[in-house]
Structure formats: C-alpha cells, structure tokens
A and B are shown apart, each in its own frame.
Chain A
Amino acid sequence: MTTPLKMLSIAAMASTMLATAPLSAQAGGVLRLDEVAVGELDPAIASDYADSILMFNVYDTLVLPAQGAPGHVPHLAESWEGDGTTFTFKLRSDVKFVSGNPMTAEDVVFSLDRMKAMGKGLSYLFANVADAEAVDASTVKFTLTKPYAPFVASLVRLPIVDKKTVMANLGEGEGEMKDWGAAYLTSTSAGTGAYKIVSHNPQEETVMEKNPDYFLGVPAPAPDTARLRYGLEAATVRTLIAQGEHDIASQWLPPEVIKALAANGAQVLTESGTGAFYVKMNTTKPPLDDVNCRMAFAKAFDYGAALKMIAVTDTVSQGAASTGAIPVGMFGANPADQVLARDLEAAKQHLAACKYKPEDFTLEISWIAEVPVEERFALLMQANYAELGVKSEIKKMPWALFAEQVSKPENTPHMSQLFVNAVTGDPDTLLYGMYHSSAAGTWQSPEYLNDAEVDKQLDAGRTAATPEGREEAYSALNARLMEIAPTIYGYDRQSVFAASNRVKVPALSDPSKAFGLDGMGFTFRLMEVAD
C-alpha cells in the first residue's frame, strides 16, 4: 500500500474509533419510538396514528378524554356548556403558543375554519358545525346545524393553531388565505403543546423537545427530547431495542417479535377500547343477502382460535374476546363476560334454514395484503366453513384495490376483514360510518347494510341529549346488529407495544390512567424516562 493510502486508512480508522465513544452512552432524557407511516404535522391534514402522536404532543385541544373513565375534561377550555346545537367554551387565560402569542378565541375559530376550508384529514368530523364565533377573547361559541351529541368528543381532534404565526407564513395559493399556511405547518408546528418541533424529516424522524413555557408545566422525569422515527423494519427495531437504542416499538411489530422482545425482558404496553376486528359480509350478494346464511357463518367462526392467533404472551394479546358489535367500554356494549363463542350446531341449523344450498355457491374471503395476520384468519374461516360443507376461495387484495372495489356492491367480496377504530373514542365515529345506510360503499361499510331500525338507533345515538339516552340507543343498536348479523364481530382490538424498561408509560400500563383514544397514551409529558 502506498504511503498516502496508508495515511488515509489510518485517519479513517482513527476517526471511526474516536467516534465510537459518544455512542456507547445514551443521552439522558431522550425517548425514542417509531411508527410505520410518516408523521403529518399539519393539524388540518393529520389523521393516522403517527399523526395523532404528534398532535397530542405539539398541539392542545379544548378538551381531553378523561383518564380511566368515560367522558371529557377541560384542557385549553376552563369550562363549557351546551344545549345540543350550541356549545360555549370559556378558555384559559394563561396559555401561550410556542411563538409567545397568547391563545385566544380567535385562534380556536381560525383552527376550525382552516380545517373545514382545507377539507382534509379529520375535517369531516366538523361537517355539522355551521359556525364558530369568538364572543370575546376568552369565549368561543359553536353552532351546529343539528343536534350532535359526540361534538365535545370530536374536539379532541381539533388542535388549536396560532393564527398570527400562520397568517405571517402563508404560502402560495389562491384567494385571501392562499394555502392557509399548509406549506409552513407541514414542516413545523404552531401550537401550545408540551413539546415543540426541533426537526421534521418525513422519512426519517421528527425530533421534539420540551416546551419550557407549557401552561401546565412539564414534569422533570418526562423526556427532554422525543425522537419519533419512521418506517423502521421489524428486524431493525428488534435489534435496536435489544441493544438499548430504542424505547417503544410501534404496534405493527409481528406478535412473534413482540413475544421475543418480552422474553428478553422488554415490557409490554397496551392500549385498548376504541376499535375492533370485524369480518364484514356483503349483504347484497347471494348467499349473504339471507340473514340465516350470515348467522350460520357468524356462529361457525372460531372466535377462540382467532384470539390464540394474536396472543403475544400468556397474559397479553392483541385482542380481547368480543361480546358483540360494540367494543367493551363504549356506550351500548354488552358485559365483558358475555363473550361470543363458536356454536357449530346452531350454525348448521341456520344454514339449513338459508334459502341457498352450500353446493350452489363459493364464498370469497378477502384479506388485505398489507395485514399478514388476516391471511391466517382467512385460512381459519376456510377451515371453519368447510365443516359446514361450504366451499370458499381466499383473495389477497392490496389496500388500494380493496378501497376501490368496495365502492360498488357487485365488486365487493363476500367477506372483507377490517380493523376499525373510533377516531374520537366515541361510538358514533365507529358505528355510523359502518352501518348507516347513507354511509354504505366505503372501506368501512362493505356490508352495504340498509336497515331502518339500525339507522334509527344510530341517529338516536348521535342526537340523544343525555348519556343514559345514548346508552339506551346503542344497546338497542347492538342487539339489532347481533340479530341481523351483517358482520362477524371477531374481537375487541388492543394495541400492544414492546418497550424498554427505561420508560414508564402509565397511560399504556395502568387502566386507571388510560385515555380511551388511540395515540393519546403517547402523551410524552405523562411519561417518565430514566437518564
């Protein structure tokens, strides 16, 4: 080797060895977690789980779900009152945005107007809001087009943005509001949250740090810095956690990887209560247009075997036994001990009463290509229904194709497997989109259900003025949905996260601290990270 080459090699080796030192020790107070999808920072576009984690930390909302209990508690609001169609919120006076601007009613009105004008993300939740008015600097009044009981619950999805900052950073666009600051808010935040954005690279990570001026203060044990990483492979996450270089894995790790990490001493965190796994039956397509055939398939499904397939450890599973159409913990849910179980004899009786004979049809069972566990459920159903003498074929469908095909009943498979969540934690956002006849033909509603009684109870559930009224409506709805069986109610979903032992996450480990809203368990200010 020539001398310059030797020198270059030695320099490279020396610098590499020098660089090794700072990595062997972890920086104190840093929380590292990951999500599969990229995180969207703009509150008017944010919709999925990664986005929710960002929203719940860099922005605040008027109300928050109560921890370990139903209902909501004031957050940016001090109090509120409503009569079904108008809601008036009194705001706190001690809240400032990270820019230093005080939070006022104008900001609340602007946040809603912006979300509705952009028409993306979860803006559909506010379709019933006719007007928002800043009565004075600390009072805001919402007027709805018709009574909508889950309105307060919807407000957990309305992050409040800093109007002055956004208006000073409008990008290119048409009209007075140009792009509504979309280009600006895609790369940074303008919120009041406990954390503020340090950097945001949609394919790599979003780095957040504590906001020292947070109106509730951020406890010292909470992470100083949080790094939300995107798109890590399961093998990479497993290695990172094992090496102490990662703290909380996403819920999308295969169960066997979570199991292996748990066996190596990792803690297992859970979040439940807002969604379920459903096998949806196309009620317009023979033989599923006959309720007896649907009942036969619902009764023949092996609920216990499905639960075993998603068990992570002996005590933790990615689901809990289903009791009906509504997950346990929501309005109208059946008691937790009334679990659904396979009943082959009842299935045979229903099939005998069905107007279609097994030899006359072949059942299409679809599964979403991006969700491998659904293939196992498809195989389970194929085996279950073979015991009834029913032939079936399994169809693997990419999500994009599935979402397109279900827009027409004739293209929708007999059976579609779906995980559906209530985006606000309220049963209305879980059930209305699935079962109301006006909502048929979306990815959530491949049943194409058209049942007057179901429609009536869904409308009653969203307009009832009292919790008791809503409980009654959803109980009746649950009973009706069990009776006409448009869906096989597989199991109540539970998200499971493998985590290192240097973090404490009460909202994901103690049911009395749980929020009952997807992603809110990742409120960093309520976590503790060991140095």
Chain B
Amino acid sequence: MIPLARLLAKRLATSLIVLIGVSMLIFAIARIIPGDPARIALGPNATAEQIADLRAELHLDDHIVVQYGHFIADVARGDLGISLYTNRPVTADIALYLPATLELVLVAGVMMVGIGLPLGIWSARWRGRAADNIIRLISLLGVSAPSFVWAVILMLLFAFYLPLFPIAGRISDTYAISSVTGFLLVDTLLQGDIRAFGNAAWHIVLPAFALALSGIGQAARLTRANMVETYDKPYIEMARSYGFPARRIANHYAFRPSLIPSLTIIGLDFAAMLGNAFLVEAIFAWPGLSRYGVAVILRKDLNAIVGTVLIISATFLLVNIIVDLLIALLNPRIRYSQRPA
C-alpha cells in the first residue's frame, strides 16, 4: 500500500472509533441536561397524559443502554429520528442546514488562507518595519476578539452606519433559487443567474469575514513567526548571497517550510469554525446547522442534538484527515514514516 493510502486508512479507522465514542458520549450527556424533553417539546400547556405518551414514544422510560440500542438500530437505517423542535426528520433538517454552514465556513476558510497567509508573509518579509507592526496589530485584534463581537461591529459599521452590505439571510427575497446542492453560490451559478450569485456573494461577505477574522489573525501570526525563524536558516543566507530577489526568497524558500506547522493550526481553526459559527449565524440570521444546534440544545431535542453533534464531529474529522494528507504531501518525512518497518 502506498504511504498516503496507508495514512488515509489509519485516519479513517481511528475516525470511526472516535465517532462511535462521540455518539456514546453525546447520547449520555444529552440525557443528563436538566429537563424532560417530552415536557419541553409539548410546551407549557401539555397534560401529564400527553407527556407520558410522548415519553413512551421516545423510549425515554427505558434504560439508557436500551435507548442507545434503539438509536444505533435507527442510525443503521439512516434514520436519526424526528426533531422535537421542528417536528421533521433530523436528517431532513441537517440536509437543509448543513450546506448553509459549510458554505459560510468554506468562504471564511478561503478568507483565512487568502488573507492570513499573505499578511504573514508580508509581515515576515518586512519585519521590524511599519507594515509589519500594522499587520501584527491587526492580527492581534483579530485573535483577541471573538467572532460574535466582530459580527456585531461589522454589522454596525458596514450595514447600519454605512449600509454597504445586507444585514440578514443568505440571499434577498427577490430571488427564488431552487436548491440543488444547498450551496447558494453554486446553485445560483448552476441556474445561470449571475445577479443572484452576486447577491448571495454580497450576503456572505460580512458573516464569513466576521467568522474568519480570528483565523486570519492566527494564520498571519503563525506564518510570520515560522518564517522569521526560517529566515535565520543558513540556506536563506545562501539564497541571499546568490542575489535572489527578496520576493522569491520569501515565497519560495522561506514560506513553504513555514507552511507545514501553520497548516496544522489552520486546519484545526477551520474545523473549529463549524462550532464557532453559531453566534455569527444568529446575528446575521444565517439559517445554518450551528444555529440549529444551539436551538435544539436549548430545547433538549435529543435526536437533533445527537444528529447535529455527530455531523459536526464527522466534518471535523474529515477536515483533519484532509489536513493530515496535505501535510503528508508537503512533508516527505511524514509521508514515508507511514511505511511498514
């Protein structure tokens, strides 16, 4: 087996074990949160009889091990149960809301890499100068304030005082886009509606930027730190003595070795955005999975909590696998360490 395939197989196997562990853990935790899910779902006016009926229907009176058995049997059939929050199948809810969050996180990820890495490179290249100080200050600001603070600040600045961007939602009411992939930026292009694409892009800028700011700061700071360290290496001195242009030294000889440690952190940041997105989604009324996740936790919607956490965990693991593979591609030492002894 080639080293990359071996690495992939290993990661998939461990991810499966992690997912099973997560399902057990969240299944138990969801049942420990105070409050009777049946009572919450049926609302304040429900009678004791109605609550008892729903508890029986949800197997809530059974032992937790029996309940888990029912859950695993349903999952094996692709059924995550009915959400008590929306009264629809959890799988249907996830299919509806996951693309919105993934789209937001992907755009934020592109911003994180597309803005954070160049900022780090420039900062390292001009270290000690004004540009370096400005970039470091911006990075520090990005890292030190959470996404939801940025969301409110950006909304105030660029939607309220300067109404340049929309405040809420994924696209304006005037567009009716039929869902194919659930990713509006893709669906609008598939329908050949460039105005709708622009509108959707215009809607995603502020929430994605708010979500990405912390990652941008993190990526810039890490890249700068790693590159500054690399600049002190003898081979950079040699490149300089050969008279290579500063830009080439930065982009080709200093950046690539610095990318590997940055990539690990960027990967983790990217995956963490799935969980961090909920407040940004709440502020910009973005109908995504993170916001749904918080809503179902507050209502102790057991099926939806377990379904949402499993999907977010699976996506987290997937992103980590991709990052591991990328690092292995970039770093032959890791790639070939996978060979059998």
Bound Cα distance A18, B199 (Å) = 8
List of A residues within 8 angstroms of B34 by Cβ? 398, 400-401, 404
Report yes or no: B167 in contact with A240, Cβ–Cβ below 8 A.
Answer: yes
Bound form: Cα–Cα A490–B129 in Å: 65
Q: Which residues of B contact A42 (CB under 8 A)?
A: 87
The CA of A23 and the CA of B97, in the complex, are separated in Å by 24
Judging by beta carbons under 8 Å apart, are B284 and A236 in contact? Answer: yes
**Interface residue range, chain A:** 35 or more
Within 8 A of A (CB), among B283-318: 283-285, 287, 291-292, 295, 300
Q: Are A15 and B197 in contact (CB under 8 A)?
A: yes
A15-B201, A239-B159 known; A40 vs B44 contact (CB < 8 Å): no
Contact flags (1/0) for A71-98 with B, using CB distance below 8 Å?
A: 0000000000000000000000000000
Chain A residue nearest in CB terms to B48: A442
Closest Cβ of chain B: how far from A193's Cβ, in Å?
20
Q: Confirm or deny: B241 has a beta carbon within 8 angstroms of a beta carbon on chain A.
A: no
A409 CB, nearest partner CB in chain B, Å = 16
Select one of A22, A119, A203, A240 contacting B50, CB under 8 A: A119
* A residues less than 8 Å from B39 (CB atoms): 400, 403-404
Asked whether A201 lies within 8 Å of B287 as measured between CB atoms, the reply is yes
Q: List 17 A-B contacts (CB under 8 A).
A: A20-B198, A48-B43, A119-B53, A120-B54, A124-B47, A182-B87, A203-B93, A204-B287, A229-B168, A231-B291, A233-B285, A239-B159, A240-B168, A400-B36, A400-B40, A403-B39, A404-B35
Instruction: Tell yes or no: B85 within 8 A of A by CB.
Output: yes
| C-alpha gap A76/B85 in the complex (Å) | 31
Contacts of A236 in B (CB 8 A): 155, 167-168, 283-285
A245 interfacial by beta-carbon distance below 8 Å: yes
Interfacial chain A residues near B46, Cβ < 8 Å? 120, 124
Return chain B residues, CB-CB under 8 Å to A202: 85-88, 93
Contact of B43 among A17, A47, A183 (CB under 8 A): A47
Q: How far is the CB of A203 from chain B (nearest CB, A)?
A: 5
Taking a contact as CB atoms under 8 Å apart, the answer to whether A203 and B87 are in contact is no
Could you tell me if A15 and B198 are in contact, using CB atoms closer than 8 angstroms?
Answer: yes
The residues of A that contact B172 with a CB separation of less than 8 Å are: 19, 22-23
Residues of the B chain whose Cβ atoms lie less than 8 Å from the Cβ of A423 = 45
Residue contact B285 to A229, C-beta cutoff 8 Å: yes
The docked-state distance in angstroms from the alpha carbon of A243 to that of B292 is: 26
Note all chain A residues with C-beta closer than 8 A to B292: 203
CA distance A385 to B88 in the complex (A): 48
> How far, in angstroms, from A245 to B97 measured CA to CA in the complex?
24
User: Which chain B residues have a beta carbon within 8 Å of chain A's beta carbons?
Assistant: 33-36, 39-40, 42-47, 49-50, 53-54, 85-88, 93, 96-97, 152, 155-156, 159-160, 163, 166-169, 172-174, 194-202, 282-285, 287, 291-292, 295, 300
CB of A527 within 8 Å of the partner chain? no
| Contact of A124 (CB < 8 Å), options: B45, B88, B166, B198 | B45
**A523 interface residue per 8 A CB criterion:** no
Bound together, the chains give a CA A227 to CA B176 distance in angstroms of 14
Please, what's the 1-or-0 string for A483-515, where 1 marks a CB less than 8 Å from any CB in chain B?
A: 000000000000000000000000000000000
| In the complex, A67 has a CB within 8 A of chain B | no
A408 CB → nearest B CB, Å? 13
Question: At the interface, yes or no: A30 with Cβ under 8 Å from chain B?
Answer: yes
**Smallest CB gap from B201: residue in A:** A16
CA distance A227 to B35 in the complex (A): 33
Cβ B285 vs Cβ A231 within 8 A: yes
Q: How far is the CB of A512 from chain B (nearest CB, A)?
A: 30
Could you say which of A121, A122, A203, A240 contacts B86, with CB atoms under 8 Å apart? Answer: A203
* CA gap between A314 and B122 in the complex, in Å: 57
Q: How far is the CB of B144 from chain A (nearest CB, A)?
A: 21
A-B interface, 9 closest residue pairs, ranked by CB to CB distance from nearest: A400-B35, A15-B198, A19-B198, A19-B199, A204-B287, A202-B86, A401-B34, A16-B198, A16-B202
- Asked whether A38 lies within 8 Å of B159 as measured between CB atoms, the reply is no
Identify the interface centre among B44, B85, B199, B291: most chain A CB within 10 Å of its CB.
B44
> How many A-B pairs fall under 8 Å by CB?
147
Contact A235 B198 (CB under 8 A): no
Indicate whether A444 reaches chain B with its CB closer than 8 angstroms: yes
Q: State the CA gap A119–B42 with chains docked (Å).
A: 10
The smallest beta-carbon distance between A208 and chain B, in angstroms, is: 13
Task: List residues of chain A with CB within 8 A of the CB of B166.
Answer: 23
Tell me, rounded to whole Å, the shortest Cβ–Cβ distance linking B273 to chain A: 19
What residues of chain A lie closer than 8 Å to B163, measured between beta carbons? 243
A123 and B199 contacting across the interface, CB-CB below 8 Å: no
* Bound: A22/B291 CA distance, A: 28
Please measure, in the bound complex, the distance between the C-alpha atom of A232 and the C-alpha atom of B295, giving whole angstroms: 12
Q: Is the CB of A235 within 8 A of B155?
A: yes
Known contacts A119-B50, A398-B34, A403 near B167 by CB under 8 Å? no
Write the residues of chain A forming the contact surface with B, with a CB cutoff of 8 angstroms.
12, 14-20, 22-23, 27, 30, 38, 40, 42, 45, 47-48, 119-124, 127, 182-183, 186-187, 201-204, 227, 229, 231-233, 235-236, 239-240, 242-243, 245, 398-401, 403-404, 423, 433, 443-444
Q: A245-B167, A400-B36 are in contact. Are A124 and B50 (CB under 8 A)?
A: yes
Q: Find the residue from A15, A398, A433, A444 having the highest chain B CB count within 10 A.
A: A15
B168 to chain A: closest residue by CB: A236
How far does the alpha carbon of A143 sit from the alpha carbon of B331 in the complex, in Å? 80
* Across-interface contacts of A183 in B (CB, < 8 A): 88
Task: Give which listed residue, B36, B44, B194, contacts A15 with CB less than 8 A.
Answer: B194
- Residue of A with least CB distance to B43: A47
Question: What residues of chain B lie closer than 8 Å to A231, measured between beta carbons?
Answer: 282, 285, 291, 295
List of A residues within 8 angstroms of B194 by Cβ: 15, 18
* CB of A412, distance to nearest CB on chain B (Å): 15
Whether A38 and B85, one on each chain, are in contact in the complex, defined by CB atoms closer than 8 angstroms, is: yes
Contacts of A20 in B (CB 8 A): 198, 202
CB distance from A269 to the nearest CB of B (A): 21
* A203 and chain B: residue at smallest CB distance: B287
Name B287's closest neighbour in chain A (CB-CB): A204
**A403 touching B86, Cβ below 8 Å:** no
Q: Which residue of A lies closest to B286 (CB)?
A: A204
- Among residues of A, the one whose C-beta sits closest to the C-beta of B96 is A201
Residue contact B50 to A123, C-beta cutoff 8 Å: yes
Chain B residues with Cβ below 8 Å from A239 are 155-156, 159-160, 167
Most buried by B among A19, A201, A235: A19
Measured CB to CB, the closest approach of chain A to B171, in angstroms, equals 9
In the assembled complex, which residues on chain A have CB atoms less than 8 Å from the CB atom of B173?
A: 27, 30, 227
**With contacts A38-B85, A186-B86 known, what are 8 further pairs, Cβ within 8 A?**
A38-B86, A124-B46, A203-B96, A239-B156, A239-B159, A239-B167, A242-B160, A399-B35
Give A18 to B283 CA distance when docked, in angstroms: 26
Report chain B residues within 8 Å CB of A122.
45
Give the chain A neighbours of B47 by CB distance below 8 A. Answer: 124, 127
* In the bound complex, CA of A379 to CA of B223 (Å): 51
Complex CA gap A201/B47 in Å reads 28
Q: How far is the CB of A173 from chain B (nearest CB, A)?
A: 11
8 Å CB contact of A232 from B54, B155, B159, B168 = B168
Decide: A444 and B44 in contact? CB cutoff 8 A: yes
Among A40, A127, A398, which residue has its beta carbon within 8 angstroms of that of B35? A398
- CB of A448, distance to nearest CB on chain B (Å): 15
- In the assembly, what is the distance between CA of A107 and CA of B124, in Å? 75
The reply to whether B87 and A40 form a contact with Cβ atoms under 8 Å apart is: yes
Instruction: Please measure, in the bound complex, the distance between the C-alpha atom of A399 and the C-alpha atom of B199, giving whole angstroms.
Output: 40
Query: For the complex, what is the distance from the CA of A12 to the CA of B204, rounded to whole Å?
Result: 12
Q: How far does the alpha carbon of A433 sit from the alpha carbon of B172 in the complex, in Å?
A: 45
B50 close to A120 (CB less than 8 A): yes
> Which of B172, B195, B198, B282 gathers the greatest number of chain A CB atoms within 10 Å?
B198
Residues of A near B295 (CB, < 8 A) are 38, 203, 231
Contact B198 A17 (CB under 8 A): yes
Task: Pick the most buried of B47, B155, B168: most chain A CB atoms within 10 A of its CB.
Answer: B168
User: Are B45 and A243 in touch, CB under 8 angstroms?
Assistant: no
- By CB atoms of chain A within 10 A, which of B86, B93, B291 has the most? B86
Chain B residue contacts of A201, Cβ below 8 A: 96, 287
